[in-house]
């Protein structure tokens, strides 16, 4: 089961109908999804969401976080690299499908999330 961390607009925090700016989902040591609504891209929403995911992974005892980036998503790859993530190369990611896993070729990105002592 994945944890979900959600960001809402500052003006609508806690109010009914608050607009979701973005979310990130964590499953074990994996950052399963990072999403930022189109109207909020480039506004600094993704970095704090990713940082929250990294903290969640570290707090759950994982030393390394990982995520998958599909081919062609150069914007995401540049973002992760700016955030200190490292591309370990290609791998076959088992994405959930209606009839079982679907193998998707992806780049595997990793980051050491251990806290400095």
pLDDT digits 0-9 by tens, 8-62: 665 544 555 667 888 999 999 999 999 998 888 888 899 999 999 999 999 999 9
> What's residue 15's pLDDT?
54
pTM of the model: 0.84
Residue 109 has a pLDDT of: 98
Give the bridge partners for 104, in sequence order.
93
pLDDT of res. 29: 96
Average pLDDT over residues 106-116: 90
Domain 3-112 classification at class level: alpha beta
Beta bridge partners of 91: 106
- What distances in angstroms separate CA 27 from CA 40, 43, 82, 117, one per listed residue? 24, 26, 23, 25
């Amino acid at each position: 089961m994945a944890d979900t961390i959600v960001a809402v607009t500052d003006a609508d925090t806690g109010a009914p109908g608050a607009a979701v700016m973005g979310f990130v989902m964590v499953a074990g040591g994996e950052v399963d999804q990072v999403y930022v609504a189109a109207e909020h891209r480039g506004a600094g929403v993704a970095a704090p969401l990713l940082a929250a995911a990294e903290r969640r992974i570290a707090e759950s005892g994982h030393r390394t976080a990982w995520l998958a980036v599909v081919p062609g998503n150069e914007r995401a790859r540049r973002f992760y690299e700016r955030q200190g993530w490292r591309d370990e190369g290609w791998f076959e990611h088992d994405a959930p499908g209606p009839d079982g896993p679907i193998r998707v070729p992806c780049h595997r990105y990793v980051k050491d999330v251990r806290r400095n002592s």
